Amino acid sequence: SQELEQSPQSLIVQEGKNLTINCTSSKTLYGLYWYKQKYGEGLIFLMMLQKGGEEKSHEKITAKLDEKKQQSSLHITASQPSHAGIYLCGADIRNTGNQFYFGTGTSLTVIP
């Protein structure tokens, strides 16, 4: 089973539209990370959330960690073609030990 569930799996939006990607865990998240990846390239760190209710923004991308610290959402406002890529969430889930898990990723296509 997947420790981190991401939804949707893929997303196609028109340029200028808003969109939201979700990352959900059945366990408490200690440190939730959002990354962006273009094919063949390494992960690009976007932001990290640690506290329940925390919200961070970077340019037109906003990420939130819910109060229970089991779900995070990534929201892109007025999407642009440069936002296209695969978005991954990653998290430290301390159940049996320090292990870092990744979500399955969300593929975003922005149509000009």
Partner 1 sequence: AAGVIQSPRHLIKEKRETATLKCYPIPRHDTVYWYQQGPGQDPQFLISFYEKMQSDKGSIPDRFSAQQFSDYHSELNMSSLELGDSALYFCASSSYKSTRNGYTFGSGTRLTVV
Residues that bind partner 1 (CB under 8 A): 6, 9-10, 31, 33, 37, 39-43, 45, 48, 86, 88, 90, 98-102, 104-107
Which residue's structure tokens are 């695969």? 86
Least distance in angstroms from the C-beta of 11 to partner 1: 10
* CA-wise closest residue to 5 among 72, 87, 104: 104
Residue whose CB is less far from partner 1, 28 or 104: 104
Query: From CA 89, how far away is CA 73, in angstroms rounded?
Result: 9
Least distance in angstroms from the C-beta of 31 to partner 1: 8
Least distance in angstroms from the C-beta of 8 to partner 1: 10
Residue whose CB is less far from partner 1, 76 or 88: 88
- Show the tokens assigned to 74: 């990534």
- Which residues neighbour 14 within 8 Å (Cβ) at sequence distance 6 or greater? 79, 110, 111
